[in-house]
Structures are given as structure tokens and as C-alpha cells.
Amino acid sequence: MAWSLSRSADGWSGLLVSLGLTALTFLVISLVTGWAGGIGWSLALLGAEYLLPVFFRGGSPDVWAPIVALGFLLIAELGWWSWELRLASLDEPAIYVRGALLTLSVGLVSALISAALLGTASLVTFAGLPMRVIGTGAMVALVSLVAVLALRGSNALATIRPRRPRGR
């Protein structure tokens, strides 16, 4: 993926290849050593590799962006699976199958939403202070929502109680 992204921009290929290689290195280190943060850094660098030529080229939104985003998600999920397999855990095959189906479903839905978003973006010009204010507000709202959900999720998890032995 890093290689294909670097080929998309003339003149930037050296820097982009470096970014891609660095991302790959982070990913490999993460999987080999079990460093969890490496996967995130690897994806961030890949994202930078993709966004730099897009930003400097300008013009209309990249129509391949949803596919690239889906690829990023797959990289992240596969990376996490590999990272989790480092632990001495032997899971049932059904867990992997359901996890893969769930990830693909979410990825496809988000790709569809992204495509719709890009379609809207090509029709409407996003510029000016009002749009910036709206965007910032939306981002703050989104992050707040995630934080609230995360807090609720951590408080509302299971209560495990041992079952009393019968007949005693």
C-alpha cells in the first residue's frame, strides 16, 4: 500500500517512499516486539504519505479515498489480530470469523458514508470561517460523544459472580 501511494505523486516519491518504509518498519517492530503503539504510528505515517500529495496537488477530492480508508482499516485490524496472537491465547475459529465479518461490515458501511461525503464535498465548497466553526464544533461534539460512550462502556461492564454449588 505504501508503495502504491508513493507512485501516485511525481516529485514526491523519495519522501513518500521514506514515509512508507518508516511506516512499514514501525509495523514490523510492533508485531515483532509487541509494542502496541507501533500500529498507530504506522497508520499515522501511512496517512501522512497519502495526504501530503493530495494536499499539495489540490483540486477536487480524491475519489479513491474511501478505498484507501478501507485499506487502512484492514491494515489496522489485521495488525491488532497479529498483535493479540502474540499472547498465549487459543481462540475458537468462530471468534475470528465473526470478527472478520464485523470489521468488513463496518468498513463497507463507512466506505459508503465516505463516498456520500465525498460526493457532497464535490458539490459544495467547504471554505470560509463559518464552515471552519461548524467543522470545529462537529469535531468537538464527536470527540465528546466518544468520550461519553467510552466512560459509559467502562462503567457498565460485567459483574461476574460465582454460582453457588447446588445441593449443599
Partner 1 sequence: MPRNGSHTRSGGGGELTRQVTTSPKLRTYVALSGFGLLAALALGRPEPLVLALPFVAMLFAGLALAEDPTLSLEVNLERETALEGEEVGLAVRVSSDTSVEWLQVLMPIPVGLEAAGPRALRGIRLVRAEQRELTYKLMCRRRGAYLLGGCLVSAGDRFGFFVLRRWAGQRRMLRVYPRPESLRGLIKPIETQLFAGNEVSSRKGDGIEFADVRPYAAGDRIRHINWRLSTRLGELHVNELHPERNSDVVIFLDSFAEVRDAGQSTLDLAVRAAAAFAEQYLKRRDRVGLISFGGSLRWLEPSMGVVQLYKIVEALLDTEIVLSYVWTAIDVIPPHTLPAKALVIALTPLVDERSIDALFNLRSRGFDLAVVEVDPDPFVVPLEDERGRLAYRLWLLKREVIRDRFRRLGVPVARWRLGDPVDGALEGVRSFRRYARPVHA
150: its cell numbers:
467510552
- Report the residue number, 11 or 156, with the smaller CB distance to partner 1: 156
CB of 34 to partner 1, least distance (A): 10
- Report the residue number, 7 or 105, with the smaller CB distance to partner 1: 105
Q: Report the b/e string of 10-39 with b at 16+ CB within 10 A.
A: eebbeebbebbebbbebbeebbeeeeeebb
- Report the residue number, 24 or 70, with the smaller CB distance to partner 1: 70
- The CA distance from 51 to 112, in Å, is 20
Query: What is the binding site for partner 1 (CB under 8 A)?
Result: 36-37, 39-40, 43-44, 47, 50-51, 54-55, 61-62, 65-66, 68-70, 72-73, 76, 80, 84, 88-92, 94-95, 98-99, 102-103, 106-107, 109-111, 113-114, 117-118, 121, 126-127, 132, 135-136, 139, 142-143, 145-146, 149-150, 152-163, 165
- The CA distance from 58 to 64, in Å, is 15
- Report the residue number, 9 or 117, with the smaller CB distance to partner 1: 117
- Report the residue number, 15 or 69, with the smaller CB distance to partner 1: 69
Grid cell 471468534 in the structure block, residue: 95
Using DSSP's 3-state secondary structure scheme, residue 99 falls into helix
CB of 14 to partner 1, least distance (A): 22
- The CA distance from 130 to 120, in Å, is 17
CB of 66 to partner 1, least distance (A): 6
- The CA distance from 168 to 147, in Å, is 46
CB of 161 to partner 1, least distance (A): 7
CB of 124 to partner 1, least distance (A): 10
Evaluate whether 63 touches 118 at the Cβ level (below 8 Å). yes
